[in-house]
Structure 1
Amino acid sequence: MPETRLDLDRIRAARRVIDPMFLDTPLFRCEALGRALGCAVSIKLETANPVRSFKARGTELVASGLSDQGRTAAVCASAGNLGWALGWSGRRRGLDVTVVASRRAPAAKLDRIRALGVALEVVDGDFEMARQRAVDIAQRRGIRLVEDSLDIETCEGAATIGLELAQRASSFDAVLIALGGGAMATGVGYALKALAPGVEVICVQPQGAPAMTRSWRRRQVVTTDSADTIADGVAGRYPIPAVLDDLLKVADDAVLVQEASIVTGMRMLLEHAGLVVEPSAALGVAAVLEDPDRFAGRNLVTIICGSNVNLDDYHRWVRPSAVHGR
């Protein structure tokens, strides 16, 4: 078992804390998508829940812990999905949640956070500016700062996906995981390496936001001056050293994909699986599109991690002319 910050006993115990509606999500073979990609593809669907992403697996642990400690408030920076999930989990437990987001975040995500009734502060700049504002709020008010990927609950909550995949590990030989801050990649990767070590763990990130992948390749933190990708959920610029240390122990590979491949992946998931997804959720399909020989004839799982997307943007991206100028 790899030596990381994560713990298998805690991950198993997390299933007793997370609301069952977020657990045991569908895993199914999508034959039409597999035929189009030249391999067997199974989909792990993490979007059929009230927050339309996997993030609540982690925020359920965070909110439960705060409630048990008698704490009443928390703040987080979010590109959208974490904030919605924390607001949902916190509201159920009577917590006062504040979310800080960049003005660049998709409007649909911000609207859904507001609809929960939690406090939303929108700042100029990118996610890193939002994160600094969240730090300031936490320090000023003396409340819990929830940091995705750094807070072990977010990783171990995501790791429950890995527990579920491990039960079916005989049916696939690789899993494709969207890579941003690293909570899902380290969590799922850890559970699989502990319980199904023969499964290849492949992380996928956009070329326009390559910080964590570059860091994984160089085995040291590499930051970037900017991030330019439609996959806002994975557009961080400053990898967290402790998370990178974990990722180095559980990931077999980390690859970068082009924006055009992400868009094509979104369209293929709509056409062949009937799924409307946000760009981050199409990264696994994009990886197969860009390296078909590597995956030909293999049995893959791709995790559909989120479906929170502005419909106007989505329609613009997936129309046929959006790729390669057609």
Structure 2
Amino acid sequence: MIDPTFLDTPLYRCEALEPDLGCSVSIKLETANPVRSFKARGTELVASLLVDNGARAAVCASAGNLGQALAWSGRRRGLDVTVVASRFAPATKLHRIRALDARLELVDGDFDLARERAAAVARHDGIRLVEDSLDIETCEGAATIGLELVDAAPSFDTVLIALGGGAMATGVGHVMKALAPDVEVICVQPLGAPAMTRSWHQRRVVTTESTNTIADGVAGRRPIPAVLDDLLVVADDAVLVQEASIINGIRMLLDHAGLVVEPSAALGIAAILENRDRFAGRHVVTIVCGSNVDLDAYHRWIGAAPTGRP
């Protein structure tokens, strides 16, 4: 069901990163596709099943990347898509949603307020609410990344996964536990958006009043209980990283790998930067999950003075 343009993404050893990180690093590149993120792996499944079942419309809340992906998958299949997003989301993400012919509704709040509004639209219009990470198709789509890692990678010790709602972490994590159980699955979240990581450590849902991070794609406040249950089964650890480390990771991926990435995609590199001893001598795979960046903000991040060794 997934368009091949989103599958078999590049996976390669990036030796240029290794002297600064102190470990072997392979990159799984999920940005070289029409929506510049991994999200379409899941929305391809969602949209295909909706159309097969006679649906004509769907709505989702999005920090930006899911909305683009659902708009792309829906347009290919004649599905009317509504995306609810924060008006404070990166302008480039909002522009791409509109360009893909989705109806875009903006709310004066964060992603969790957009989730509430999307649910209200679904009830009012009688259409399917697509909930990232809760809908199993979004997790199954992300799980194909794990299948490709297992099939293509040489022996590796650890996979670092950006943690937001949890679709990628639970999808890839389940594959690792089933097919490569010796691989350590580590989820990474910003210190300024810690709800899911705190929930994992406390083994119960922990919410926060606000978020404060440049990594907008993972900035949720209210974990979904069913997703946390899955995460507790498949994740070996969940760590928090500082904003300075995320910015350093963005800069390193540009300087050493020639990659323009959004902050969420640099979380894996940030985790290594903050704990080089933990990863020393290991072969680590980091999933570069998105490259939809606001250019003005990006130029500020890469132009800032280096923040030094975390």
Scaled by the length of structure 1, the TM-score of the pair is 0.93
Whether 1:219 and 2:183 are equivalent positions in the alignment is no
Contact conserved, 2:11 with 2:153, CA < 8 A, in 1?
A: no
- Letter in structure 1 aligned against 2:119: V
**Secondary structure of 2:305's aligned partner:** helix
Contact conserved, 1:169 with 1:199, CA < 8 A, in 2?
A: no
Q: Name the structure 2 match of 1:141.
A: 125
Whether 1:167 and 2:167 are equivalent positions in the alignment is no
**Secondary structure of 1:255's aligned partner:** strand
**Secondary structure of 1:288's aligned partner:** helix
CA distance in 2, matches of 1:268, 1:171: 24
Q: Name the structure 2 match of 1:291.
A: 275
Which residue, out of 68, 80, 87, partners 2:71?
Answer: 87
Query: Offset at 1:323?
Result: 3.1
Query: Offset at 1:256?
Result: 0.2
In the TM superposition, 1:129-278 aligns within 5 A as 129-278=113-262
Percentage identity across paired residues of the two chains = 78
- Letter in structure 2 aligned against 1:297: G
Contact conserved, 2:191 with 2:243, CA < 8 A, in 1?
A: yes
**Secondary structure of 1:154's aligned partner:** helix
Whether 1:55 and 2:39 are equivalent positions in the alignment is yes
Please tell me the root mean square deviation across aligned C-alpha atoms, in Å: 0.9
Contact conserved, 1:43 with 1:303, CA < 8 A, in 2?
A: yes
Contact conserved, 1:99 with 1:120, CA < 8 A, in 2?
A: yes
Query: Offset at 1:171?
Result: 2.2
Query: Offset at 1:103?
Result: 1.0
- Letter in structure 2 aligned against 1:271: D
Q: Name the structure 1 match of 2:95.
A: 111
Instruction: Pick which of 46-55 and 127-136 moved more.
Output: 127-136
Query: Offset at 1:166?
Result: 1.1
CA distance in 1, matches of 2:55, 2:98: 22
Which residue, out of 69, 81, 84, partners 2:53?
Answer: 69
Q: Name the structure 2 match of 1:13.
A: none
- Letter in structure 2 aligned against 1:58: G
- Letter in structure 1 aligned against 2:288: I
Contact conserved, 2:174 with 2:234, CA < 8 A, in 1?
A: yes
Contact conserved, 2:265 with 2:290, CA < 8 A, in 1?
A: yes
CA distance in 1, matches of 2:125, 2:180: 44
Query: Offset at 1:297?
Result: 1.2
In the TM superposition, 1:10-21 aligns within 5 A as 17-21=1-5
Contact conserved, 2:190 with 2:240, CA < 8 A, in 1?
A: yes
Which residue, out of 27, 33, 56, partners 2:17?
Answer: 33
Unaligned runs of 5+ in 2: none
CA distance in 2, matches of 1:154, 1:307: 19
Query: Offset at 1:137?
Result: 0.4
Q: Name the structure 2 match of 1:312.
A: 296
Contact conserved, 2:266 with 2:288, CA < 8 A, in 1?
A: yes
**Secondary structure of 1:254's aligned partner:** strand
Q: Name the structure 2 match of 1:321.
A: 305
**Secondary structure of 1:208's aligned partner:** coil
Query: Offset at 1:274?
Result: 0.1
CA distance in 1, matches of 2:296, 2:74: 30
- Residues 153-211 of structure 1: CA distance to partner in whole angstroms, max 9, x if unpaired? 00010000000111145421100000000000000000111001010000000000000
